[in-house]
Amino acid sequence: MIEKNIFSKITRNLLFYCMFYYVAHGIYFLGITNWSLYRSYNYEQDSCQIMFHGSECFFLYLVGVFLRIILLFSQSVITVERLIITIFPNSDLINSATLNMMSIIMSVITTSMIRPSTSSQFNSPNCFQQMFIGMKTIRSLIGIMIGFDVFCFPVNFIMMIRHRRQFLGIEDTHEYDLKSRYTCKTKLYSSIIVSFISFIQTLLYTIYIIAQCLSLVLYTNDDGMFYGNDVDMWFYTFPLAGLALPATIIVSYAGMTIRKNNKIGVMKVNNYTSQDAYFKNLNSQWNRSARQSIA
């Protein structure tokens, strides 16, 4: 991303921030799951020791909630940045550091608003999921994710289609030289890539939202206790969304490079063909003129 300069500086910085948060989330999630695995192996003869008490998991649980929220806000910031660039192409009011700081502040405020007032009184199989009566924090998190989906999903889809149409429109024109056409297409490609990344990640979040809502309905008893933690873990798509970010960038850039090389090859072949035809025509006219002068 740095060497090839595919994206603008602001977009590149926002993507780096988003990648950093995904890495932090991945380290956190890996540590939590491995800790649970260690407990299950080390205390396999004592099921009570395998379970985690609410008091020992409270801080780690809040960290997990914060990381999920900041991932949503950082992705929303990228969508907002692309929307502003699309509407106001020459705007210089956007600053990546400011947008990132705003997402951090909003994440801290939101986490403090939806956090449980105290640790859970019940045991749980891991510190990532805690059992509370009514599951207020999880329900609030689902509401935030639904709001994220409602905003980001249609916006990224519309921008992706719009940039694609612009790309096809420029591809059909012939008034540019190779360098200017490639520069313009690179900008459109970067817009398509960012919109496509946000679209894929939003789609993955939607899968988790649907699974979470269904599990809350199916695995909550009459006392408000939720027993579907294991089911939720099967549909936890945040790690997949993290992998989708660099994977989409790499695949998209590889496709752009292949397309550019193929286009250059076609232009070279056409150029050589036209030059060959030109010199053959010139030779034919020269010979015809020579025969007429001899006659």
DSSP-derived 3-state class of residue 176: coil
pLDDT computed for residue 69 by the predictor: 92
Sequence-distant (6+) residues with CB within 8 A of 278 are none
- Residue 294's pLDDT band, with cuts at 50, 70 and 90, is very low
d(CA 22, CA 238): 8
Residue with tokens 């429109």: 169
Position 293 pLDDT exceeds 60: no
d(CA 84, CA 75): 14
pLDDT computed for residue 87 by the predictor: 78
DSSP-derived 3-state class of residue 124: strand
Q: Are 202 and 153 in contact (CB under 8 A)?
A: yes
- Residue 260's pLDDT band, with cuts at 50, 70 and 90, is low
Exposure on the CB side of residue 287, measured as CA atoms within 13 A: 6
pLDDT tens digits, one per residue of 179-213: 556 666 666 677 777 777 878 888 888 888 888 88
Once rounded to an integer, what is the mean pLDDT over residues 85-104?
80
pLDDT computed for residue 286 by the predictor: 57
Q: Are 114 and 135 in contact (CB under 8 A)?
A: no
Angle at 9 between CA 240 and CA 155, to 5 degrees: 55
pLDDT computed for residue 266 by the predictor: 52
Long-range interactions of 154-162: CB distance < 8 A, separation 24+: 155/79, 155/83, 156/79, 156/82, 156/195, 156/196, 156/198, 156/199, 156/202, 157/195, 157/199, 159/82, 159/83, 159/86, 159/191, 159/195, 160/192, 160/195, 160/196, 160/199, 162/86
pLDDT computed for residue 208 by the predictor: 84
pTM here is 0.76
Once rounded to an integer, what is the mean pLDDT over residues 15-31?
91
pLDDT > 90: percent of the chain: 12
Instruction: Give me the residue spans of the domains in the chain.
Output: 9-285
pLDDT > 70: percent of the chain: 71
Residue with tokens 């859970």: 120
- The string of DSSP letters for 181-193 reads HHHHHHHHHHHHH
- The string of DSSP letters for 89-123 reads TT-----HHHHHHHHHHHHHHHHHHHS-SS--SS-
Q: Are 194 and 7 in contact (CB under 8 A)?
A: yes
Sequence-distant (6+) residues with CB within 8 A of 252 are 189, 192, 193, 196
Architecture of domain 9-285: Up-down Bundle (1.20)
- Residue 178's pLDDT band, with cuts at 50, 70 and 90, is low
pLDDT computed for residue 2 by the predictor: 52
Once rounded to an integer, what is the mean pLDDT over residues 105-112?
94
Q: Are 197 and 242 in contact (CB under 8 A)?
A: no
**And the tokens for 81?**
């940045």
Position 277 pLDDT exceeds 80: no
- The string of DSSP letters for 224-242 reads S-B--HHHHHHT--HHHHH
